Structure 1
Amino acid sequence: MSVKAQEAPPRGKVPVQAVGTPGPPPPAKRVTRKGALPYLLLLPALAMTAVFLGYPLVTNGMLSFQNLNMTQLIQHVTEWNGVTNYTDTLSSETFWRVTLRSVIFTAVNVVVIIVVGTLIGLLLARLGSKMRLLLLVGLVLAWAMPIIAATTVYQWLFAQRFGVVNWVLAELGFDSMADYNWTGTQLSTFFVISLMIVWTSVPFVAINLYAATTTISRELYEAAALDGAGAWESFKSVTFPFLKPFLMVATFLEVIWIFKAFPHVFAINEGGPDRLTETLPVYAFVEGVGNQHYGTGAAISVLTILILLALMSYYLRLVLRQENADDADGSEQSKGGRA
């Protein structure tokens, strides 16, 4: 008996699946699995963040509500004192003076880092391959140097009696600088600290900004030149719009890094002279560990985080507004292309 060939189903009709034949999984389940996969991949990173970041933050927050000195620490006594550490800190004139000093210190360093880093990044884009490679190697070496090693080098450079800087200035005719104590006054100590921070932070801005300039099409500069634009006009109309998102992110990161900078300030002169160069991280360490007021130090560190978040809130709104504007421009361009 011959088997008839299976006929194709009529047009417009869906063939009925044979009973018992396994079919594809329901679409809802496949969507659920695909939607859950990114969260499953993020679980290890989230777990590590909770252990190494979340746990210290919670512990420090609990410590800020305790009266913990050396006596309580030795006797293993937990003495809760509510918000006393916070009220004492916020009512202290020293705390607000250190806060203002930290804000000014951060603002000055961030402005210098962004300006110098931008200039060096634009210089890298214009240099030849050999000079660019040489400058990149120097920037990477400065960026890769450990902070404590950098502070040791700067302490040697600015030493009072045998420092290289004083010797060079004396040879140039500034005899009064032969035995100058760079860590003897507030301004000179901040100058040394700021110089070291700028030296270690500029490479990040310069290298990344140079990488951003490589994405700008040369045709845009040619079009600007045809319109009669000079170097400054080309920078404003072509270069800066492309670099603006990167500069905003770099400024955001530099504010965080400079505001919480601890080893740069502490290793140079431990916040001296007379605690006049203490920033909030150093102030929290000196009060908590140095003076053995661990609860007060914890409260200062929590307030430092809150102050940093308050300072960055306006900047975060600017970044989000810029991202929304870029997304809107991209959607309009895509609609225009389809039209």
Structure 2
Amino acid sequence: MGTQLGPHTRDPEPGTTLGPEPRPRPPGGRGALLTMRRRRALLPWALLTPALVVIGLLLLFPLARIVWLSFREYGLRELVSGESAFVGAANYLTLLTDPYLWRVAMFNTVAFALVAVVATLVLGTLVALLLSTLRPVTRVAVVSCIMVAWAMPAVSGTYVWMWIFDVENGVVARALMAAGAIDPGGYNWFADRLFFYGIATLNVVHGGFPFVAVTVLAGLLTVPRELHEAALIDGAGAWKRFWHVTFPVLRPVFAVVTVLSTIWDFKVFAQIYLMPGGDVGGSQMLNLGVWAYVRSFSHNDYGLGSAIAVLLSLLLLGVTVVYLRVLFREDELR
């Protein structure tokens, strides 16, 4: 059918086509168009405002309060009177010049977090690879079982591991006594710094690997089979297929679980504090999180305890920023 033209419209030139009619501009011209665009840009922020207000009240205000306390002399007397003196960076100078920070608390925090994060990621990834080979019904049953460990509260899990490594009546102690490896009186695993954090690592990895396994499994199910089939035809082994095919596709997934695991393991508290010796100030077992609590509530030095908490927050922020920058830089180079 031809295009019908009005009585005052000329016929188009041969070889030309009629373009689409221009969109009608909103009333008010360019100013109204800019206003409409601004409203559209502000709409997401308006929808997020209630959640941001709640986050600000629950997170930002306590954080600001801790930073404020870290610059003041705040002990039991100041807590009762409500008045405190501004001391500037004195708490931070005391903290940074304390040998206990570098020899014990910082070393325990960083070394424990590195070992726990690596162990959690490796075990979680291996479990995810195993789950990806199972049938759907069997996979659901196994996932339901391992999620029990993730859902278990940290306090309950810590007491279970304390019972397993009890000095005299623990499962490990009884097995070693029966084998003649230790004396009948048992062995205090919690008195040795290495064994203490070994038990804490088992506790944290046991509670954290299900999250990594389920998250990585969700990513594995999105990897196209054609990529693995092509790599298998080219003669690539299991490790090469994982490293050159699976890992590049799941890089964002591993970034998320690594950052979250790092944050969780750097600020571990209950798994250290509840174990024998984990709540004693000046011992060789404290990390930064527990040390901040002990200095604040056992020694009534809330200013120095707040300074330790701020240092831990800055350490977490620095580790997260560095890891994300390295990750994004690798993506840009590809």
With normalisation by structure 1, the TM-score equals 0.85
- Contact 2:190–2:277, Cα closer than 8 Å, also in 1: no
- How far off its partner does 1:165 sit? 2.4
Distance in 2 between the 1:106 and 1:36 partners? 40
Asked if 1:89 is matched to 2:95, the reply is yes
Q: What is the aligned counterpart of 2:212 among 205, 208, 211?
A: 205
Distance in 1 between the 2:185 and 2:268 partners? 30
Distance in 1 between the 2:168 and 2:109 partners? 30
- How far off its partner does 1:298 sit? 0.6
Letter in 2 for 1:182: W
Q: What is the aligned counterpart of 1:123 among 114, 117, 130?
A: 130
- Contact 2:279–2:294, Cα closer than 8 Å, also in 1: no
Distance in 2 between the 1:191 and 1:146 partners? 19
Q: What is the aligned counterpart of 2:35 among 29, 33, 44?
A: 29
Letter in 1 for 2:142: L
Asked if 1:259 is matched to 2:266, the reply is yes
Counterpart for residue 248 of structure 2 = 241
Letter in 1 for 2:289: P
Question: How big is each residue's C-alpha offset from its partner over 1:98-132, in whole Å with a ceiling of 9 and x where there is no partner?
Answer: 11221111111111111111111111111233432
Task: Decide whether aligned partners of structure 1 residues 255 and 177 sit closer, same or farther in structure 2, where only a CA change above 3 A counts.
Answer: farther
- Contact 1:287–1:296, Cα closer than 8 Å, also in 2: yes
Counterpart for residue 308 of structure 1 = 316
Distance in 1 between the 2:108 and 2:205 partners? 18
Task: Decide whether aligned partners of structure 1 residues 210 and 103 sit closer, same or farther in structure 2, where only a CA change above 3 A counts.
Answer: same
**SS of the counterpart of 1:162?**
coil
- Contact 1:110–1:255, Cα closer than 8 Å, also in 2: yes
- Contact 1:166–1:180, Cα closer than 8 Å, also in 2: yes
Distance in 1 between the 2:253 and 2:184 partners? 41
With normalisation by structure 2, the TM-score equals 0.86
Q: What is the aligned counterpart of 2:64 among 58, 67, 72?
A: 58
- Contact 1:167–1:178, Cα closer than 8 Å, also in 2: no
Distance in 2 between the 1:8 and 1:276 partners? 97
Counterpart for residue 299 of structure 1 = 307
- Contact 1:68–1:78, Cα closer than 8 Å, also in 2: yes
Task: Decide whether aligned partners of structure 1 residues 215 and 278 sit closer, same or farther in structure 2, where only a CA change above 3 A counts.
Answer: same
Letter in 2 for 1:61: V
Letter in 1 for 2:290: V
Q: Equivalences for 1:167-206 in 2 at 5 Å?
A: 167-176=174-183, 179-206=186-213
Distance in 1 between the 2:129 and 2:314 partners? 36
Counterpart for residue 332 of structure 1 = none
Asked if 1:71 is matched to 2:70, the reply is no
Distance in 1 between the 2:184 and 2:279 partners? 21
Counterpart for residue 146 of structure 2 = 139
Counterpart for residue 283 of structure 2 = 275
Distance in 1 between the 2:298 and 2:324 partners? 35
- How far off its partner does 1:59 sit? 0.9
**SS of the counterpart of 1:117?**
helix
Letter in 2 for 1:127: L
**Of 168-177 and 298-307, the range deviating more from structure 2:** 168-177
- How far off its partner does 1:191 sit? 1.2
**SS of the counterpart of 1:269?**
coil
Counterpart for residue 295 of structure 2 = 287
Distance in 2 between the 1:84 and 1:261 partners? 27
Asked if 1:99 is matched to 2:80, the reply is no
Unaligned runs of 5+ in 2: 1-5, 11-17
**Of 283-292 and 272-281, the range deviating more from structure 2:** 272-281
- Contact 2:177–2:186, Cα closer than 8 Å, also in 1: no
Distance in 1 between the 2:203 and 2:158 partners? 7
- How far off its partner does 1:312 sit? 3.0
- Contact 1:166–1:178, Cα closer than 8 Å, also in 2: no
Question: How big is each residue's C-alpha offset from its partner over 1:217-273, in whole Å with a ceiling of 9 and x where there is no partner?
Answer: 111122122222222232222222222222222111111110011111111235267
